[in-house]
């Protein structure tokens, strides 16, 4: 698909997502104090297990993006880090603008400088830890959660409703950065990208664990 068409599709997705989050979805009937208390319960693990797992997954998915955004942002006029940091709070709402504006490329205009961030987010052990955390949250949510209670929260809570949609969008967009990452590492095989697309979230995480390291001078 031509990059212009991809940008238009991502921009339409972002605008639609923002509009739905503020104008659609379940009406919020709780007071701000009640909303804050509910958010605190999720953060402390005291809510419905599926909602707790989902809330914590939305803290790990931005980490998965950083494994791709840190090398991707080198040579970009638009820095990735503000969008990456914001994604820990608002997920795909922050990630989509960067994906819309970035220039797709697979090689650096010059050798990137060494840096702790590059080394950290090139570490397969760190990627493995993130993957283990995601797997643990899935196990917790699926074994301890109550689907009927979660469905009721999805129907009545705007926060849970939008958070669930945010999870789906963030997960679906993760493979978009993998093609360039493969070329940056001089990997000509395309099957890792197909696996990443076929296995939502766990496919990209498996790629982050198994991918070859960046060239020595790049880290």
- Where exactly are the structural domains of the chain? 3-218
* Per-residue pLDDT, 110: 54
Residues of the chain above pLDDT 70, percent? 86
Res. 161: pLDDT tops 80: yes
What distance in Å separates the CA atoms of residue 71 and residue 68, rounded to the nearest whole number?
Answer: 6
In angstroms, how far is the first alpha carbon of the chain from the final one?
32
pLDDT in tens, 96-155: 999 998 877 666 555 555 567 778 888 999 999 999 999 999 999 999 999 999 999 898
Residue at token pair 């991707």: 72
Contacts 24+ apart (CB under 8 A), 160-164: 160/51, 160/54, 161/25, 161/26, 162/20, 162/21, 162/25, 163/54, 163/55, 163/58, 163/91, 164/54
Higher-confidence residue of 22 and 125: namely 125
- Torsion sign over Cα 125, 175, 202, 17: positive
pTM (predicted TM-score): 0.87
Output b/e per residue, 32-57; b: 16+ Cβ within 10 A. Answer: eeeeeebeeebeeeebbbbbbbbbbb
What distance in Å separates the CA atoms of residue 202 and residue 209, rounded to the nearest whole number?
Answer: 10
- pLDDT range class, residue 64, cuts 50, 70, 90: very high
Higher-confidence residue of 167 and 44: namely 167
- Torsion sign over Cα 206, 210, 211, 213: positive
* Per-residue pLDDT, 2: 66
Spatial CA neighbour of 167 closest among 110, 87, 78, 103? 87
Average pLDDT over residues 189-204: 84
Beta-carbon contacts of residue 77 (< 8 Å; ≥ 6 apart): 103
For residue 147, the number of C-alpha atoms closer than 13 Å in the C-beta half-sphere is 2
């Amino acid at each position: 698909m031509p990059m212009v068409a991809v940008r238009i599709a991502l921009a339409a997705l972002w605008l639609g997502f923002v509009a739905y989050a503020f104008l659609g979805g379940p009406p919020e009937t709780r007071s701000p104090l009640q909303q804050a208390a509910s958010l605190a319960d999720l953060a402390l693990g005291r809510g419905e297990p599926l909602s707790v797992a989902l809330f914590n997954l939305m803290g790990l998915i931005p980490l998965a993006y950083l494994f791709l955004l840190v090398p991707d942002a080198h040579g970009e006029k638009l820095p990735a880090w503000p969008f990456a940091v914001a994604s820990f709070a608002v997920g795909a709402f922050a990630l989509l603008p960067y994906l819309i504006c970035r220039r797709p490329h697979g090689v650096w205009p010059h050798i990137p400088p060494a840096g702790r961030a590059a080394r950290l987010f090139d570490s397969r052990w760190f990627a493995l830890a993130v993957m283990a955390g995601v797997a643990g949250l899935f196990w917790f949510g699926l074994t301890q959660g109550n689907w009927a209670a979660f469905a009721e929260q999805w129907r009545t809570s705007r926060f849970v409703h939008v958070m669930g949609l945010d999870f789906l969008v963030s997960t679906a967009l993760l493979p978009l950065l993998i093609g360039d990452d493969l070329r940056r590492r001089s990997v000509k095989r395309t099957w890792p990208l197909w696996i990443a697309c076929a296995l939502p979230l766990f496919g990209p995480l498996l790629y982050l664990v198994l991918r070859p390291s960046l060239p020595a001078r790049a880290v």
